[in-house]
Structure 1
Amino acid sequence: MTIDELYDELLTQAADDRTVTVAAEASTRGPEARTRRLIRSVLDDLFQDASFAFDETLVKDNLDELLLVLIGVRGSKTHGKALMGDLAHLFDTQLSPGTVYPRLHELAESGVLAPREMVRTKEYRVSERADAVRRLERSMRQHLALAAVFYAALEEL
């Protein structure tokens, strides 16, 4: 099975009525609710076990991509403090400002994010959608490939 086939299979499994309902409801409840519903629907579709939790090291290792996802899904009120709150609430990860803000600044310096100066903070938005999509697709393929290797190895153990 190729990575694209595996991804297509995951999408097919996630395309039930519940996911469609969640997506429709999410558009009317603001950026925080939309983000929570997106992640919750993915986890519900992939895992029947409600005790699943993200590993903090994995979150840190994929922080750039997670920030791009959160900023892209949120669409508004995307300042560092709100993003840190999202990471804590959605991924059960307490990251320090010294971890999150340098990543935001580097993403802005690379041109994929555009910061907007506010009175006491900066709000971020995705400025280079194509670059953000490429980054997320590359990361997704890496993770799916690794998952496929793990899955295949289960049969060998």
Structure 2
Amino acid sequence: MARRAICLKGTYLQDHLSDLKRKHIDVTGRFGFKRRPYGEQQSSDTAKFRVVGVRNEGTDDYHLYVMNLPDGFTPEQVAALYSLRWKVELLFRELKSRYGLGKFETGNKAIAELLVVAALLTLLVSGALLAVFQKLDPDVEYPVERWATD
């Protein structure tokens, strides 16, 4: 199936999103950025990145991903990969905020490793217990975000 290409050169992708009806977008974009200051000077530069968009059928919006992954990754694979990455980010946020990994009160490596293992075990056991209770009584709503801390 042939696709109709739209020339985006010299424009902003954001300006075209509302007009697009395709399932995927896969383009190369140039992004401007400021380099770290060196002495008294700070220079600007540009870099090229791949931009993949996957249409969310529910909201009719695009989920856009800016990356340096090669073209061998399909838009579906990119979306799945970034979905997993986001889950990892949320897991670390939960471990830091609810399981005490936000700040260690020790400089001892062995104790720090033990605290990480304890937090991971608490997370796993808490999640397993929550699943058991939800299965036993599906009508009861358990506040997932407060399960391990209350």
Higher helix share: 1
TM-score band, normalised by shorter chain: under 0.3
Higher strand share: 2
Larger radius of gyration: 2
Structure 1 length as normaliser, TM-score?
0.26
Query: Which of the pair has the greater relative contact order for Cα pairs under 8 Å at 6+ separation?
Result: 1
Structure 2 length as normaliser, TM-score?
0.27
